Amino acid sequence: DEADIGETLNRIKTHKGVVGIIVLTQDGVVLKSTLDDETASSYGLLVHDLVRRSRLGIRDFDPSNDLSFLRIRTKKHEIMVAPDRDYLLIVIQNPNS
């Protein structure tokens, strides 16, 4: 149930450098997050767009292929995304912490 989801998110959050976790639908709707609503929805929009573009590019290159994990390192943070057909699990990390 929902308590299990919360428990798993809390466990993920205890890892070093984890700033926030977001569960997103493929439409970009924030289902659950450990961040405030505004931060969660702006990260949600960013990741939704990145995943959509990556997926399009991968499939353009090879239609039999698909995206299975996305990891982006920037100067300020690292974003990890585990995507499936309908939902995305997103972890935002601060690797310098």
Partner 1 sequence: DHEEKHIVPDVTLEQKQEIMFSEDFRKFFDKASRVIERALAEDDRGIDIFVDYKGENLESLE
Q: In the complex, which residues of this chain contact partner 1 (CB under 8 A)?
A: 1-2, 5, 8, 11-12, 15-18, 23, 25, 27-29, 31-32, 41, 44-45, 48-49, 52-53, 56, 69, 71, 73, 75, 80, 82-84, 86-89, 91, 93, 95
Minimum distance between the CB of residue 89 and partner 1, rounded to whole angstroms?
4
Look up residue 40 and give its amino acid. A
Least distance between partner 1 and beta carbon 64 (Å): 21
Structure tokens at 12: 């993920």
Spacing of C-alpha 30 from chain mean position: 10
Long-range contacts at 32-39 (CB < 8 A, ≥ 24 apart): 32/5, 32/6, 34/9, 35/92
Which residue, 64 or 96, has its beta carbon nearer to partner 1? 96
